[in-house]
Amino acid sequence: MGALHQGHLDLVSRSLEKCDYTIVSIFVNPTQFNNPEDFDKYPQSLEQDLELLEQAGVDAVFVPTVETMYPKKPEITLDFGSLERVLEGAFRPGHFNGVGLVVSKLFHMIQPDIAFFGQKDLQQVAIIHRLVSEFCFPVKLDVVPTKREADGLAMSSRNRRLGDSQRKLALILFQSLSDAKKLLLKGHAWDAIKKSVETLFEKEEGVKLDYFSLVEREKFELLDSYDPAVKSSICVAAFVGEIRLIDNMPINA
């Protein structure tokens, strides 16, 4: 959705490495925002984005208008079942319907052989995998690991809205994920870890936790305990001031 950072450019690099022709789409999709104020404040820097993409060597950039993508108000809705009833789906009703609509349109318009998505939006990746499977899109998905700042903060377009003090506060997401992963791998109980993290957020002024959950990655089912045989990740979402950030960390391959 624009406001490009190195995480986006990693997707571009992966495409340039694997593909003969690389197209980047930039579109701030209104149908995936359940909060109009969040849509209005979403950072946009198209001119700078185009310069970065030109320097990176992409072959084309698709920058459609809202009227191009939605010539009339969408009447079709997509329901991803239990996959969208938890975490981001629960806290942002309608969000994944908007994601599914715009990605379906982009797949039809561009007809890519491979589509590259970032691991940071882990539940979105699961949604798109389901979309491709259910609608038989002839596209392979390539998920690129989360790009982080030197101090661990996951790169995000929304980070541009953080003030200096908020930027420091935002590190609580990465620190909580890292500490929780270490404790899980040492055999500590998930319930106790989660409760400790929730207490930490309650004590930290300026942040508000939405969720801190252990999930099975494919079906995105919430887990009560860690099983090394199950591919799982820890997911977190929290407000730093008025800015909502998400992050996740895989526990095993």
What is the rounded CA–CA span in Å between residue 13 and residue 10? 5
What is the rounded CA–CA span in Å between residue 206 and residue 190? 25
Strand (E) positions, 47-192? Answer: 60-62, 114-118, 140-144
For the annotated binding site for (R)-pantoate, the residues are 32, 124
**3-class secondary structure, 87:** coil
Token duo for residue 198: 């929730």
Give me the active site residues, please. 8
For the annotated binding site, the residues are 1-8, 32, 118-121, 124, 155-158
Tokens 């379906």, residue located: 104
For the annotated binding site for ATP, the residues are 1-8, 118-121, 155-158
| CA distances in angstroms from 20 to 16, 25, 62, 139, 218, listed in the order given | 7, 17, 17, 15, 29
For the annotated binding site for beta-alanine, the residues are 32
CB 87 within 8 A of CB 212: no
**3-class secondary structure, 179:** helix
* Residues 6+ positions from 229 with CB-CB distance below 8 Å: none
CB 238 within 8 A of CB 201: yes
- For 224, how many CA atoms within 13 A lie in the half-sphere containing its CB? 0
Could you give the residue ranges of the DSSP H alpha helices within 122-231? 122-135, 164-169, 171-185, 190-203
